[in-house]
Structure 1
């Protein structure tokens, strides 16, 4: 079809004004699906390929002549910063037409929100948490506000595929559609979808529409990619005189400025606009402090900014504005807050300290660069301490280096990205949506409540029996209560939970204190130290002057120096396929083209060390005496299941003791058995048809998700056994190891 002629006149004008010579493949494919069918559509294409325009050009053309008597398009995004960014783009697109663009999140003024409630129309941009608040507090307004809703656009869909936050989002979409009596089309956008079929099922779940994912031929991408390795003190792996047993300890001469990896980043960001990604907020603060210390040490102006979830909106927005300013050459240290699709201008390159946990994260972070026609550019900087002279084998392996190579190779060779992970028994979210439904709708019979909640697609694996167990427990604990009419309402204990603004989010938050220096709010921290101690935030160090426990506020002033920060970060799980590719990295002889001098030398060392020990051909290595080390090469949750199989099912037979693990890379222990007995016993136990609950300790009540504390113990144990422990992959892994190792 001639897509251009189907666009509304103002869209055609926009294309002319911006000098576009042609439409991109994803824009043509999207228009054909949106104009010619009534399907849900998943648009998956590389970063900066024009997905936003691909979705909104036909959507806006479709609603262009319709009366603006309701919100027509609901746009859901995972971050406020992404909403703010897309708000500017969509407002620019709709300047000359009567299609209002609204945003609704914690930083939006009440006057704007009141205007939307008075005149619902156009496009509403919202986060899942704000939509939850909407469903509870504006319940009666939903039919009026969304009675003409035609489209729901879910941006950065991949970020919703593997978490309860994604489950919450799609529960809310279903609840809103039923309440407003509408059947909107769902449009998903993402740059990092591996399996289009699985992601399409996730996007369309609970919708009566077919979901399609048009495949487009993207222009082959050229990557500018490098990976370098640094020991935190010299000598480096490529030094001719390198002898790991004769490494000198740090001297007192500028010891804190002696990290070559940070020095490398410092030198390679000079005069450029870059991002430095870290895997935690603590590391982000530490790296920013070190880079600023380099500036001071070299008598240079500070050219480093910081951006993470615990900083105040003002500080985050300052960093975002500086990155968008073409005349400002600053480098920003960031966490995943800048991983998603915010257009942060013409960045020259991204640096990644150590390896992220997912292929998706790697692709998203690299995709922050390479816009406006330039190739994406990313530089991995792997850092580690020199191993001690008596270090055991597993500590001699550079795990982040292997992981980084595995992430790159999996995508380069197979275009593999982590698949969706439908949480089979999401009881924490079940509690949350039960309380949300009661809080918004008022009194309901148990049957009515079950028909509203259990019918939501995300709970398709939850039985009615399990739901009865949950409701009985909530009645017993006063989270819900009976009315005289035999209905259920939110109870006294439940009101304390539901009436707190933190209820809108299903992700775990720490108890946070806002930090103030004079009139400036710096951000938030967890567990403030006593008065007189130091804290690290916003890339600087501060002395605590006062702590107001009741108001959760900390007052401080700035001092020089560097200290570690703590925000309570927890790394995510790593997929089995990544560990399997890491094993291959250690065994193959390939020297990957993006590895630089030190990284090549370090990989060669690691391969030589592994080969001498029999790795990775052998999975079980004797460390000396009765100590053994097991390298399963499987994902985090299969590894966890294997730990428990060995301790619970095989512990007595093998007399296992002194068990330790570095999940998901290796575990070590002492045992009174030889290698053959180990493989025979572990193989026999894994092959048995046992109940996964047998791998949960007798009095263990695992709490992982935010609302687990309000659930009955039996459901918590069941969820851990059936949804967290990856028994299927563990059994496959053991079978494979036994086959390769048992002679």
Structure 2
């Protein structure tokens, strides 16, 4: 009751109106940390546990006790949809206290932004990209807007821990506070933090404040979980085995019961079709292309079964109208529609009472799995997820690596890592973010105008994100930017944005640091469907919004595609997306194959397929021998390393060991295995790679001659020597690779 009594009267009234009888543990713990300390707060609790209210109840109470003379709370979220969702909830909460809530993103009303600029107050909700735009275009307004800023709330903070977007966000926070002369507390919210201490350091970097991580009993998590496996054609794995699993789904009719079923019917999609009938579900895929294909196929199943279309689609390339329609349908508790989605519905949007989530194949991260699982289980029900793992039958002469169902094993590993260790991917703080360094250098120069090189360096290099960047490397970057006319020297000896730089900075796409493809807007009549890359010629078909369209016209100047709806199937293409899989996941995959443990959530076909894979693993003696002989001079290497340590291994074997091994024809299926031929024996292989790994060599030795490994959005404007250095020292996991290689000889 102590925390409840500290709440402002309008908060107490809100709790009473909502019918809450007691505060949750997270709300008591957050209230204690926010009311009784002056530290930053990292609040980690399961999805739908009430984290948002837990943070805002005490924050708004403090704001009510002592009103701010500017914006009092800056709320940063990774998605516009999340801001829109929280806007309604915060408005209801703040209305009685007359605390204004303002959205600031590309789809938000301009009038509301103008109103805030005239009279800064209350809560401002913003994405990192819109905050970047605000810092560049309204830099003179920053002191008035944020001079008395008390709190910065970062929602879904886990999504910012491993990429440049997180570095951008926290650089902007530091810049804003310096410019405004304010020193707000930071509050991070997340359901999926694996290493809270490391995340707490990340949250507080540059703030001059410690971070407190409240401990509380969040209650017991209850999951309904199943994993089923499907070959894309009959027969299925070990169909004669039986399994009884509490709370798991029954086996399903796998094909539509009509003669007009879609050609090349997909048993895995048929399974989803049957088990979404009469329910409200989310169907997660790992790419926008897969999302489109799955939605097309499910709609064809509906048509073949003479059933109404009950499938919607949601991903980042769709128009706002399509996305918001899907969100509204999901919020309607009476709706029985299901939505095919990517990570855009992974984060904390409240989409009502979902009955279950499906996941096609395995996600890349434990964090992603937990977020997707957490979309269900709101309003008192257990979280429920059904994995659907698919693969083609191995060909008759397939080699050993093709006999392992990698997605199935990866899915089991993700689940077991969290159940057994509560493992979630930690923050990535060891990068050399030269692309982001370019971006923030240009942003600071664009927002501040002319300054000396020393002033620019002091503004940029003191940002916590750039703690690994040396003065020398920054000088190299600046000299290059002057050469390519992105920065110009002035007669006074200062620097300003150059003509070539202005073309970059003045484009709205500059505000984002994540990689974007050149996109074309797709229209059907007056309706905007979304965007695609690489539009096909007139007469060809495209897939978007879960349907197939024929291209009527392509306007390359305006980057617009005009089309008409037709029937059929067509793969979509929205650009490449790379997966980043942690080494712990690969190590646990090894153990899944090596152990004889039964997992209660496996369905019969998945259990049968796992048994086959374990038999293959055992016969090949893979448990302690990473190198497996495939016949002749052909070998397969199973290193059980994450994406960037595996990438380092590929290069290490080719560049450092290739000649001594007589290595040829290397094929990589990253990060699962390598196949190659070599001229030495198994014993010689282990001896040679251990000798080479023991040598203390420069990571740049793993970059090919004349190679410029462009990874991030603005790498093309960074000097080649820095790109190479950033890749070698910030992307490749050299230490992880060396430790693994040296362990092989010890374990044999």
Is TM-score (shorter-chain normalized) higher than 0.5? Answer: yes
- CA shift for structure 1 position 736: 1.6
Summarize deviations over 1:636-688 as a string: whole Å, max 9, x none.
Answer: 10001111110001101111000111000000101000000000000000111
The answer to whether structure 1 residue 77 and structure 2 residue 77 are counterparts is yes
The answer to whether structure 1 residue 623 and structure 2 residue 630 are counterparts is yes
Match of residue 485 from structure 1: 492
The answer to whether structure 1 residue 575 and structure 2 residue 582 are counterparts is yes
| Residue 497 of structure 1, aligned match among 500, 504, 509 | 504
Match of residue 458 from structure 1: 465
Aligned residues: 731
| Residue 658 of structure 1, aligned match among 661, 665, 671 | 665
Structure 1 Cα separation of the partners of residues 68 and 597 of structure 2: 60
Match of residue 251 from structure 2: none
Summarize deviations over 1:707-726 as a string: whole Å, max 9, x none.
Answer: 00000010000001000110
The answer to whether structure 1 residue 294 and structure 2 residue 301 are counterparts is yes
- CA shift for structure 1 position 113: 1.0
Summarize deviations over 1:360-396 as a string: whole Å, max 9, x none.
Answer: 0000000000000000000000011111101111011
Summarize deviations over 1:231-274 as a string: whole Å, max 9, x none.
Answer: 01111002359xxxxxxxxxx99563521100100000000000
* SS of residue in 2 equivalent to 1:642: helix
- CA shift for structure 1 position 484: 0.4
* SS of residue in 2 equivalent to 1:382: strand
Structure 1 Cα separation of the partners of residues 276 and 625 of structure 2: 43
Structure 2 Cα separation of the partners of residues 38 and 734 of structure 1: 47
The answer to whether structure 1 residue 645 and structure 2 residue 652 are counterparts is yes
Match of residue 179 from structure 2: 179
* SS of residue in 2 equivalent to 1:131: helix
* 8 Å contact from structure 2 (residues 586, 641) kept in 1: yes
Structure 2 Cα separation of the partners of residues 238 and 625 of structure 1: 32
Match of residue 436 from structure 1: 443
User: Which residues of 2 match residues 273-288 of structure 1 at below 5 A?
Assistant: 273-288=280-295
Structure 1 Cα separation of the partners of residues 148 and 685 of structure 2: 64
Match of residue 469 from structure 1: 476
Match of residue 315 from structure 1: 322
Structure 2 Cα separation of the partners of residues 67 and 585 of structure 1: 56
Summarize deviations over 1:182-214 as a string: whole Å, max 9, x none.
Answer: 000000000000111100000000011111101
Q: After the TM superposition, which of the residue ranges 5-14 and 59-68 deviates more from structure 2? A: 59-68
- CA shift for structure 1 position 217: 1.0
- Specify every segment of 5 or more residues in structure 1 that has no aligned partner in the other structure, as ranges: 242-251
Structure 2 Cα separation of the partners of residues 571 and 171 of structure 1: 25
* SS of residue in 2 equivalent to 1:422: coil
Match of residue 371 from structure 1: 378
User: Which residues of 2 match residues 32-71 of structure 1 at below 5 A?
Assistant: 32-67=32-67, 69-71=69-71
- CA shift for structure 1 position 595: 0.1
Match of residue 367 from structure 2: 360
* 8 Å contact from structure 1 (residues 164, 423) kept in 2: no
* 8 Å contact from structure 2 (residues 262, 304) kept in 1: no
| Residue 547 of structure 1, aligned match among 554, 574, 579 | 554
* 8 Å contact from structure 2 (residues 542, 570) kept in 1: yes
Structure 1 Cα separation of the partners of residues 240 and 7 of structure 2: 64
The answer to whether structure 1 residue 147 and structure 2 residue 147 are counterparts is yes
User: Which residues of 2 match residues 512-551 of structure 1 at below 5 A?
Assistant: 512-551=519-558
Match of residue 92 from structure 1: 92
* SS of residue in 1 equivalent to 2:630: strand
Cα RMSD over matched residues? Answer: 1.1
Match of residue 345 from structure 1: 352
The answer to whether structure 1 residue 197 and structure 2 residue 232 are counterparts is no
* 8 Å contact from structure 2 (residues 645, 734) kept in 1: yes
Summarize deviations over 1:466-499 as a string: whole Å, max 9, x none.
Answer: 0000000001110101000000000111011001
- CA shift for structure 1 position 424: 2.7
* 8 Å contact from structure 2 (residues 522, 530) kept in 1: yes
- CA shift for structure 1 position 112: 1.3
Structure 1 Cα separation of the partners of residues 281 and 484 of structure 2: 52
* 8 Å contact from structure 2 (residues 225, 384) kept in 1: yes
| Residue 671 of structure 1, aligned match among 662, 678, 690 | 678
Summarize deviations over 1:130-151 as a string: whole Å, max 9, x none.
Answer: 0000000000000011111000
* 8 Å contact from structure 1 (residues 514, 524) kept in 2: yes
- CA shift for structure 1 position 423: 4.1
* SS of residue in 2 equivalent to 1:35: helix
Structure 1 Cα separation of the partners of residues 103 and 745 of structure 2: 56
* 8 Å contact from structure 2 (residues 646, 671) kept in 1: yes
- Specify every segment of 5 or more residues in structure 2 that has no aligned partner in the other structure, as ranges: 242-258
* SS of residue in 2 equivalent to 1:719: helix
Structure 2 Cα separation of the partners of residues 59 and 735 of structure 1: 52
* SS of residue in 2 equivalent to 1:256: coil
- CA shift for structure 1 position 569: 3.3
Structure 2 Cα separation of the partners of residues 386 and 256 of structure 1: 18
- CA shift for structure 1 position 597: 0.4
* SS of residue in 2 equivalent to 1:230: strand
* 8 Å contact from structure 1 (residues 68, 120) kept in 2: no
* 8 Å contact from structure 2 (residues 700, 724) kept in 1: yes
* SS of residue in 2 equivalent to 1:64: helix
Structure 2 Cα separation of the partners of residues 142 and 114 of structure 1: 14
Structure 2 Cα separation of the partners of residues 371 and 253 of structure 1: 38
* 8 Å contact from structure 2 (residues 282, 341) kept in 1: yes
| Residue 564 of structure 2, aligned match among 557, 560, 565 | 557
Q: After the TM superposition, which of the residue ranges 82-91 and 612-621 deviates more from structure 2? A: 612-621
